[in-house]
Structure 1
Amino acid sequence: MAKRFSKIFKLGLDQPQLDFVDITPATDTRLFIDPFAISLKSDEWSIRCHVLIKHFFSTALASIKAGREKEAKDLLNGLSEPNETCLGHSKGTPAGRGVSGKQAFDLYESLSKSQAAKTGLLEELADCDLFVEGIGPDKLSDITTNIIRRPLIEYTQDQCKLHGIALLGSYPSGRYWDIEERCWRSDYHALPVVGKKPVILVPKYSVRRKMCLDAQEYYSHHVINYIQQEEFERGTSLVRTLRSGEKRPPYKKAVKEKFPFTKDFLARFSEANPEVLEHYKKFYRKLMGRDGELSHEDFEDQFLEEAFAEAMKERFKEIFPGDAHAGKFHSFIVGVLEYVFWPHLIYPKKEDPIHDGRKRIDITYTNAARDGFFYRVHTAHNIGANYVMVECKNYSKDPANPEIDQMSGRFSTNRGRLGLLVYRDVNEYDRLLKRCRDTAQDGRGVIIPIGDDQLIEFLDLISQGKRHVIDDRLEKILEKLLK
């Protein structure tokens, strides 16, 4: 059986404990990088990627509209086959579906002939799946991968640093889009290697099982529904008349026969009825769940929440306090926080492992919350929390003022003023809470102390199907700090 990335590098963590897609490098994982999903996110990494995607596509489209055929084809020819991410629909060995060579010519032909491109309806790369023949999820995902390859490489390097994966040697990066030079570039980067092949990791918050914008779905559930009602109101020959004389809307099948599916038809319809397209996109901008960030079950069909949470609780007993086990505790806590706080906290990065000769295990998370505690911290309590600092203390003694001061020293206006102090056990919890309260009331930032007991309680709540109660627990701690 093909091994996953986590098993190859012996991370001791499973997919729910990892921020990236735990691929099997020997075969493609059937997930897609979705440019529309990336555009919905407001974190720094996603915004950077969205800007790259939008810039490349507008540059290529401008060349096509201006009739600069050679320039346009050269741009499209830079979209090579990205095998390093191991995502998509290939069977067997990963094989990208880039559009270089003949496919670049075909893509140029499709875009130049597209009704949506001619009218200006086609504005974003994600729209291609709706309006451009020959472009589906696989190809769209691969095009996106090429454009954002540089941020993906940097993300990969950060995750390898976080998990202690050695990066040996430099490998060709493959082409990535350079906004300043308005061209493709390539250079060399240190990357993890499996079977002599470099691997690029992808954040799991950027992938979907299917693209958010889907031509068939748009056609069947939005366009046809609109036309069905329109035909009914106009009283066309498709309207059904019952024996009683009552009029009924036409059958969808009849509407589809009159208006068969083509992407050019969708473009013409959307040009004439822009509110339908806007409603469709707005629907997905607000949608959570199946077509929002993927759940743990989306990544693993056999995933059992209760059993997984119980297994993680047992791991606390196996890691003893003390410097000798600090590294093991750090790795474990990274997995616990990922599992408990996904998708609100994302992109964990390890920082400053050594300070004054003492080992410091510091992690910074990006706050991507759109609801819940980590969202309210900023909106309701006005605490800067674009990033959340985490420090893990595998001490056998109570955290004291030096640890509190150390963490508050990491806060700044740009980084934020919210941190989690993760510790093992405490003899005087009220005293620790008072120290954190003094820090908050002095204006030096908010530090939420979380020990083994709290994390085990969070896992209990998850196993009972009460994940939402975790927010209440955190809110109560915060209230004590702000009193």
Structure 2
Amino acid sequence: MIIIRPRINDFYNVPFSQEEVDFAIPFLDEDIPLYVDPFLLWKSPSMQDNSLHTVLVNSFNSLGHNYIKGNTNDSINILIQSSECEEVGLGNSKTKQGKKISLKESSKILELFKNIPQIHKSGFTHFEEIQLFVENISKDRVSDITCNIIKSWLIDYTISQCDKHNIPIEKSKINVFDYKSGKFKEEETWLPENPNTKSPIIFTPKRWLRFIPYINYEEYFEKYFLKELGGQFEEPLSRVEILDYNRYNYDVVETYIKIKERNSETLKNDPLFKQIPILSSKRKFRTIAKLPTGKTENADKEYEKNLCQILASVLYPHLDFASEQSRTENGVHIRDLIFYNNQSYPILKDLYELYNCKQIIFELKNVKEVENEHVNQLNRYLTNSFGNFGIIFTRNKPPKKVIENTISLWSGQRKCILILDDEDLKLMCQLYEGKQRNPIDVINKKYIEFTRLLPS
């Protein structure tokens, strides 16, 4: 079975949407473009999260203190080992295989405990400060170090979520950081498995995830350093020069961190998907309604761009958006939009059971009149990989001969292709605005209308 951007629940055929679960659903062949932000653990009202943050910071500070005491190699190697956590699958990798920090980078981080008197004396309160002192250390490293140090808790969390949602688990051997000894040890446990690589998978709570950590170099530079200190220098400093300045002027960073703590009331996690505002959906529909049909002045591209954003938002959370402009295996054709079928709504469950519909393909056609060739093109995409159901969005109602073609496809191949137009899209946007009914009911309405045309 070929699934576009497959997730673990798609492979195991466990129907739930991202909205319904507490964790970020892992992809099987690429990372989730989010990161664990340890500041969210610090700020959390949960005593459990606060305790995990204490374990995280104490463990990191312990590495530094051991480094100062002369356990140089052990501390360096443990930090290197903690700098990549492939099991959680967070970041921007397209292969789910990351690269650990170098010996040089690890040494530079641990040297902070020697070279900065305040850190030497008291350690870090927020270890993500290292981004402000060491080059090439950013959000992915902060996230991976966090996950590795609290991995024991994440394993227990993953097992509990698998039990709750009936996700299969397999016996696994995995390196886990031991808080008491301050070292990594191999443990045998039970975890979900990536069917492609046979490697274990660890879940992370959505409440800890952000696209950019609350403490990060870019925000520090733009909103604090330039504003408070930029005028002191005759010429702008490079990033490396600013990092050097921070190491020799720790009080500057310390003040910045205290400001961040005081202003953290509104800090929240980032959602894995954010719907566009109602006003934005209305503007995008008006843009579509004014577009000419065809390709004049890239009207087809504008149609696809605006319609993609509308559909991804109005159909959420019942349909999770999977991909846009996805090529077929031979690379010849491009499918416009693909959604995961989470079976989270009656019509979606029916489509899964009747048409083996695991993912739903949407074809977007900015044409004056949809033709049989457009229907036949979508029909060619409907294979065992996706199932036998698809949707065409176009500008105007289809002619009778095209409707008859869709009926013939159902009669001969048991494939169902629905055709929706601007009026249906307008109704979807109105339901999205009104919030009293779900926009996906428009698809349900078209499906019922289609079934009434079928031969008995």
TM class by smaller structure: 0.5 to 0.7
The answer to whether the Cα contact below 8 Å between 2:7 and 2:26 also exists between their aligned partners in 1 is yes
Q: How does 1:321-336 map to 2 (within 5 A)?
A: none
The answer to whether the Cα contact below 8 Å between 1:122 and 1:128 also exists between their aligned partners in 2 is no
- Per-residue CA deviations over 1:225-272 (Å, capped at 9, x if unaligned) read 1125x76xxxxxx8xxxxxxxxxxxxxxx6635998522213444425
* Superposed displacement of residue 155, structure 1: 1.0
* Superposed displacement of residue 318, structure 1: 9.3
Are residues 1:266 and 2:267 paired? no
- 1:128 maps to which of 127, 130, 134: 130
The answer to whether the Cα contact below 8 Å between 2:16 and 2:344 also exists between their aligned partners in 1 is no
Evaluate the alpha carbon distance shift between residue 221 and residue 261 of structure 1 in structure 2; reply closer, same or farther with a 3 A threshold: farther
* TM-score normalised to structure 1 length: 0.53
Q: Provide the rounded CA distance (Å) in 2 between the counterparts of 1:197 and 1:259.
A: 38
| Higher deviation after alignment, 79-88 or 17-26 | 79-88
* Superposed displacement of residue 142, structure 1: 1.4
Evaluate the alpha carbon distance shift between residue 318 and residue 259 of structure 1 in structure 2; reply closer, same or farther with a 3 A threshold: closer
- Per-residue CA deviations over 1:361-387 (Å, capped at 9, x if unaligned) read xxxxxxxxxxxxxxxxxxxxxxxxxxx
Are residues 1:286 and 2:262 paired? no
* Superposed displacement of residue 75, structure 1: 3.2
The answer to whether the Cα contact below 8 Å between 2:108 and 2:134 also exists between their aligned partners in 1 is no
CA RMSD of aligned residues (A): 3.7
The answer to whether the Cα contact below 8 Å between 2:38 and 2:143 also exists between their aligned partners in 1 is yes
Evaluate the alpha carbon distance shift between residue 227 and residue 262 of structure 1 in structure 2; reply closer, same or farther with a 3 A threshold: closer
* Superposed displacement of residue 83, structure 1: 1.5
Q: Provide the rounded CA distance (Å) in 1 between the counterparts of 2:110 and 2:181.
A: 23
Q: Provide the rounded CA distance (Å) in 1 between the counterparts of 2:176 and 2:261.
A: 30
State the match for 2:19 in structure 1.
16
Evaluate the alpha carbon distance shift between residue 310 and residue 297 of structure 1 in structure 2; reply closer, same or farther with a 3 A threshold: closer
State the match for 1:458 in structure 2.
none
* Superposed displacement of residue 108, structure 1: 1.8
Q: Provide the rounded CA distance (Å) in 2 between the counterparts of 1:318 and 1:95.
A: 34
Q: Provide the rounded CA distance (Å) in 1 between the counterparts of 2:226 and 2:249.
A: 10
The answer to whether the Cα contact below 8 Å between 2:32 and 2:92 also exists between their aligned partners in 1 is yes
What SS class does the counterpart of residue 297 from structure 1 fall into?
A: coil
Are residues 1:308 and 2:287 paired? no
Q: How does 1:50-65 map to 2 (within 5 A)?
A: 50-65=53-68
Are residues 1:199 and 2:206 paired? no
Evaluate the alpha carbon distance shift between residue 51 and residue 186 of structure 1 in structure 2; reply closer, same or farther with a 3 A threshold: farther
* TM-score normalised to structure 2 length: 0.56
State the match for 1:184 in structure 2.
184
State the match for 2:175 in structure 1.
174
What SS class does the counterpart of residue 138 from structure 1 fall into?
A: helix
Evaluate the alpha carbon distance shift between residue 313 and residue 181 of structure 1 in structure 2; reply closer, same or farther with a 3 A threshold: closer
Q: Provide the rounded CA distance (Å) in 2 between the counterparts of 1:10 and 1:58.
A: 43
Q: Provide the rounded CA distance (Å) in 2 between the counterparts of 1:299 and 1:155.
A: 28
Q: Provide the rounded CA distance (Å) in 2 between the counterparts of 1:282 and 1:203.
A: 25
Evaluate the alpha carbon distance shift between residue 174 and residue 307 of structure 1 in structure 2; reply closer, same or farther with a 3 A threshold: same
Letter in 2 for 1:65: I
Are residues 1:276 and 2:256 paired? yes
Evaluate the alpha carbon distance shift between residue 143 and residue 274 of structure 1 in structure 2; reply closer, same or farther with a 3 A threshold: closer
Letter in 2 for 1:95: Q
Letter in 2 for 1:181: S
State the match for 1:97 in structure 2.
99
Q: Provide the rounded CA distance (Å) in 1 between the counterparts of 2:5 and 2:226.
A: 43
- 2:211 maps to which of 209, 214, 217: 209
* Superposed displacement of residue 153, structure 1: 0.8
Evaluate the alpha carbon distance shift between residue 314 and residue 223 of structure 1 in structure 2; reply closer, same or farther with a 3 A threshold: closer
Q: Provide the rounded CA distance (Å) in 1 between the counterparts of 2:149 and 2:37.
A: 12
- Per-residue CA deviations over 1:97-120 (Å, capped at 9, x if unaligned) read 334xxx245312343157874442
Are residues 1:27 and 2:6 paired? no
Q: How does 1:59-458 map to 2 (within 5 A)?
A: 59-79=62-82, 81-91=84-94, 93-99=95-101, 103-112=102-111, 117-120=116-119, 123=124, 124-168=126-170, 170-176=171-177, 178-195=178-195, 196-227=198-229, 256-257=236-237, 261-272=241-252, 274-283=254-263, 285-288=264-267, 292-295=268-271, 297-298=273-274, 302=309, 304=312, 306-308=314-316, 315=345
Question: What number of residue pairs does the alignment pair up?
Answer: 296
Q: Provide the rounded CA distance (Å) in 2 between the counterparts of 1:258 and 1:305.
A: 41
Q: Provide the rounded CA distance (Å) in 2 between the counterparts of 1:269 and 1:466.
A: 53
- Per-residue CA deviations over 1:380-400 (Å, capped at 9, x if unaligned) read xxxxxxxxxxxxxxxxxxxxx
Are residues 1:39 and 2:42 paired? yes
Q: Provide the rounded CA distance (Å) in 1 between the counterparts of 2:244 and 2:146.
A: 23
What SS class does the counterpart of residue 88 from structure 2 fall into?
A: coil
Evaluate the alpha carbon distance shift between residue 299 and residue 150 of structure 1 in structure 2; reply closer, same or farther with a 3 A threshold: farther
Q: Provide the rounded CA distance (Å) in 1 between the counterparts of 2:111 and 2:32.
A: 32
State the match for 2:282 in structure 1.
none
Q: Provide the rounded CA distance (Å) in 1 between the counterparts of 2:78 and 2:238.
A: 39
* Superposed displacement of residue 62, structure 1: 0.9
Evaluate the alpha carbon distance shift between residue 182 and residue 270 of structure 1 in structure 2; reply closer, same or farther with a 3 A threshold: closer
Q: Provide the rounded CA distance (Å) in 2 between the counterparts of 1:135 and 1:45.
A: 27
Evaluate the alpha carbon distance shift between residue 107 and residue 156 of structure 1 in structure 2; reply closer, same or farther with a 3 A threshold: same
What SS class does the counterpart of residue 184 from structure 2 fall into?
A: strand
Q: Provide the rounded CA distance (Å) in 1 between the counterparts of 2:47 and 2:433.
A: 34
Evaluate the alpha carbon distance shift between residue 171 and residue 162 of structure 1 in structure 2; reply closer, same or farther with a 3 A threshold: same
Q: Provide the rounded CA distance (Å) in 2 between the counterparts of 1:96 and 1:155.
A: 23
* Superposed displacement of residue 7, structure 1: 1.3
* Superposed displacement of residue 139, structure 1: 1.7
- The share of aligned pairs that are identical, in percent, is 20
Q: Provide the rounded CA distance (Å) in 2 between the counterparts of 1:23 and 1:258.
A: 37
What SS class does the counterpart of residue 244 from structure 2 fall into?
A: helix
Q: Provide the rounded CA distance (Å) in 1 between the counterparts of 2:199 and 2:238.
A: 51
Letter in 2 for 1:94: K
- Per-residue CA deviations over 1:464-483 (Å, capped at 9, x if unaligned) read 5889xxxxxxxxxxxxxxxx
Letter in 1 for 2:153: P
The answer to whether the Cα contact below 8 Å between 2:175 and 2:187 also exists between their aligned partners in 1 is yes
